[in-house]
Structure 1
């Protein structure tokens, strides 16, 4: 099973390596831009964010989360993004928007991690690992894979526009099937974010205070 998966992934990479490259580069640029934005924060902006962060950390150990409501909001947010990427992949003109979504996710991740680590040093690294890392391990690869698949399918549609002999249906079935898998990973990431991440944040907050 593992060898078959690796073989399929290798074939996919050989056929769609430009899409892989574009997605990874845009995501990396987003992380870089987020990191640089933290460094360019004005003093009053940094102070205000620092106050919010300190207040959050001080209250994190006692805050009770409505898990049902939180899970609904997290799942809705992640699923909307994945479905948006999927639908944009069905149109050639959606390519810039897909790349924009990937860049934005990288920016948010880079900004959050950079701010935590720059403001709290070692404690910030611990807090970033507790608050950001668990769900990101599942969600980020799933989103990147969705981006690669949507770009690849959009390019296929562009080729179809210029050559009516290009077959689309098998790729559409595979694209839709992969999106279902990505949605499952997004749902798993939502469960981790709601039920597991708050426990780690509380432990990190107790360590910091």
Structure 2
């Protein structure tokens, strides 16, 4: 019964905020496309320089010279939570709404540029590398960014609405809205920890295996 209740709340939440989810998804997708386009606009010298550093990184992966798993996990968690936490704080500030959307767009650019550059330089080999190095953790991180963006936008709009109403609804008081908003951050934190765990402990082994296949 409880499962149906949770599922029902999730479906109700998605329906209620469907327009916001669609907006942030399209914005993120535009960032991905823009990132891929940027790769094609780079000149040969820039591509060669970037590919040189990328080759060194792949060499370190194949030789097992990367940082320790625990250190990689800490760096990944810190980087992602810092980014997502800033989006959460900006949602509270109300005036930070445009910055949230810009940050989401930039996240899309990073993903699009990374995958686009690998495929552009290495062809199907680059696709395999992006499949094991970019896709796995982003299966959780991308939804986390989309959910956080939607929650921040929704929270900001509801607070503005509450401030403008002379008689705000008790069921949607600022305290209630903030409690729900804090709950979203807790869920996002769990998703980030799971994604960072995979990025730190599984991705290096997968990348090493693919690099060995490519070089072999």
Aligned counterparts, 1:29-178, within 5 A: 29-64=30-65, 65-166=67-168, 167-178=173-184
Residue deviations 1:20-46 (CA, integer Å, cap 9, x gap):
122111101100110100010011101
In terms of mean alpha carbon deviation, does 75-84 or 109-118 score higher? 75-84
- Is the Cα contact below 8 Å between 1:91 and 1:157 reproduced in 2? no
Residue deviations 1:108-153 (CA, integer Å, cap 9, x gap):
0000001111111110011001111111111111111111111100
Aligned to 2:202: 196
- Is the Cα contact below 8 Å between 1:142 and 1:186 reproduced in 2? yes
**Distance change in 2, residues 1:164/1:192 (3 Å):** farther
Please, which runs of 5 or more residues in structure 1 have no aligned partner? none
TM-score by length of 2: 0.91
**Where do 4+ consecutive residues of structure 1 move more than 6 Å?**
none
TM-score by length of 1: 0.94
Aligned to 1:179: 185
User: In 2, Cα distance between the equivalents of 1:3 and 1:147?
Assistant: 26
**Secondary structure, counterpart of 2:63 in structure 1:** coil
Please, which runs of 5 or more residues in structure 2 have no aligned partner? none
State the shift of 1:16 in Å: 1.7
Give the length in aligned residue pairs: 209
Aligned to 1:10: 11
How large is the RMSD of aligned CA atoms in angstroms?
1.4
